[in-house]
Chains A and B, each alone.
Chain A
Amino acid sequence: MRTGAMGICVMCLLLLAACQREKRDIRPSPTRLAIYGDAAKEDALRPGGPISPQPVVNNPYNGSAYDISEGQRLFNWYNCSGCHANGGGGIGPPLIKQHWTYGGEPANLFDTIVKGRPNGMPAWGGRIPEYQVWQIIAFIRSMNGEQPRSATASRQDSIETNPQNIVNRVRGKTK
């Protein structure tokens, strides 16, 4: 009996996971287009200041394959890759990393993108719509393995850029 119930629970969870993964919010709901909130409850006077320990907003697109892929498209379209090339960094810091100066939670990333940060990160608030910011965040988090693997694209239709695969070449012996 118990195992049966457990089984049903697991099935439901799988089902829910699938629902989130395959969700396609093609028409963003208008509330997300409203005024930018203070996602991380950050001190407005000191951008880049201490981070509130409890971010209050979560990413509505967490784990959604469609939105992660949209985020990846926008990452290129809005030329994020110009400074954070393929997440590896360049003019801007790399985005594949453990330690985030301004916090790596979705809410912190949201604030970083919307309000900008000193030393070059422009404030994108008011320029790109809120739902796209969340999509970009979903993608950035996927680069760090913080999205389900089943919702993340294995590769793009581009020249292989995965650093691990490039390293592989260097490691091997050459004739």
Chain B
Amino acid sequence: MKNNTRQIFSTFAGVLGVACLSLLISCAGHQQSAVDPAGPQSGRIDTLWWSFFWLLGAIFVIVMVLTLMTLGRRHRGFEQEPLEATHKPSEETDSRLRRIIAGATVTTVVILFVLIVASVGTGKANSELQNKKNPLTIQVTGNQWWWQLEYMNSDPTKILVTANEMHIPVGRPVQIRGISNDVIHSFWVPNLNGKRDLIPSHVTTQWMEADHPGVFRGQCAEFCGLQHAHMAIWVIAEPEDKFDAWMRAQLQPAAGPSTPELQRGRQVFMNNACVYCHEIQGTTAAGQNGPDLTHFGSRRGIAANTVPNTAGNLAGWILDPQSLKPGNHMATIALNSTDLQPLVEYLESLK
């Protein structure tokens, strides 16, 4: 009996210790982490999480210790009762236990009340962001399996359409208007704020703000079909001036091809199925089914950030999109071997 108790004790303690350690060690320094906050909102949630963690952790330890103590003998003090035969302790024992249970229940209620207040308070504080001045509104459209971003502006010529990479200014609130073109997706950049579903026939809103520059990753968090796993977005928080410069550059139409090789690349693009789905502003390519490629070369990733944007990856993606991301909607087109190189170079030149 005693051996067993010790065995149970040590296992529990071991599991618990390893658990806490790994939790503490492994949470910092990630580009997609709920416990590495980069904004006031995720910061508050982070604080809330750790207060929950320590409080609930303490409760867990107490309950476990009590549970394990039931295996011991020394604590009882009702040794006199011949329980094995009667199965019924004295009324005194029972009423004492009932009082303890009632006390524990009241404690539970109090703790839960505190937790509710803390959690509602955090929620309320987080929603204050929408009252801040000068917000930036970005419309995020979920598609199978990529993100379309529209930087809203009262001046229609200044509406920027891009995809899969979001730049935001540090210290300025960002309103995310979420819509969906097909199925339900969920926009989630854990370092900045919690997630928000993008639901067909609904418009959802979410607010976020970065308090320091950085590069954060987000990923679709609602199962949306075959390639749900490969639907990522980069959020790049940068100082206001850098952001403005980026914005100005992105609002320009695509650069014209400067060499014959690039010229040829553009021609390949225009003569193939590419044009039916992709838009390159400043050219005749105006397809709306896939991501806008006007400044494709300036982005970090391809295929909704499945792989980094390099010439090699791009060539592989164009040649055989279905092996990198099986089931996605990009057509596998029959390209001549001489056409691929110029096309890749042209796309990469769209800075």
Which residue numbers of A lie inside 8 Å of B, CB to CB?
A: 24, 26-28, 33-34, 73, 77-79, 126-132, 157
Contacts and interface: CB of A to CB of B under 8 A. Distances in A.
A129 B334 contact: yes
8 contacts: A27-B323, A27-B326, A28-B332, A33-B333, A127-B273, A127-B276, A129-B333, A157-B182
A27 B322 contact: yes
A28 B333 CA distance: 10
Nearest to A66: B327
Nearest to B329: A73
Contact of B332 (A73, A127, A131, A157): A131
Nearest to A130: B334
B107 interface: no
B327 A26 contact: yes
Contacts of A132: 273, 331
Contacts of B271: 126-127
A30 B219 CA distance: 32
A140 B309 CA distance: 37
Interface residues of B, number: 19
B332 A129 contact: yes
Contact of B334 (A26, A34, A77, A79): A34
Nearest to A128: B273
B285 to A, nearest CB: 13
Contact of A129 (B226, B273, B320): B273
Given A27-B326, A77-B289, A128-B276, 10 more contacts: A24-B327, A26-B226, A26-B326, A27-B320, A78-B276, A127-B273, A128-B273, A128-B331, A129-B332, A157-B182
B100 to A, nearest CB: 57
Contacts of A130: 334
Interface in B318-339: 320, 322-323, 326-327, 329, 331-334
B277 interface: yes
B200 interface: yes
Nearest to A131: B332
A33 B273 CA distance: 13
Interface string B282-314: 000000010000000000000000000000000
Interface in B204-241: 226
Contacts of B333: 33, 129
5 closest cross-chain pairs (CB), A and B: A27-B322, A33-B334, A77-B289, A26-B326, A26-B327
B5 interface: no
A30 to B, nearest CB: 9
Nearest to A27: B322
Contact of B322 (A28, A73, A127): A28
B109 to A, nearest CB: 46
Which residue, of B327, B329, B334, has the highest number of chain A Cβ atoms within 10 A? B334
A162 B327 CA distance: 28
A127 B331 CA distance: 11
B332 A33 contact: yes
A135 to B, nearest CB: 10
B272 interface: yes
A26 B331 CA distance: 11
Given A28-B322, A128-B276, A129-B273, A157 B200 contact: yes
A49 B78 CA distance: 104
Which residue, of A26, A73, A132, A157, has the highest number of chain B Cβ atoms within 10 A? A26
Nearest to A132: B331
A127 B277 CA distance: 12
Nearest to B274: A127
Contacts of B273: 127-129, 132
A99 B272 CA distance: 32
B299 to A, nearest CB: 22
A64 to B, nearest CB: 14
Which residue, of B200, B271, B323, B331, has the highest number of chain A Cβ atoms within 10 A? B331
A23 to B, nearest CB: 13
B293 to A, nearest CB: 16
A28 B320 CA distance: 10
A132 B331 CA distance: 8
A159 to B, nearest CB: 12
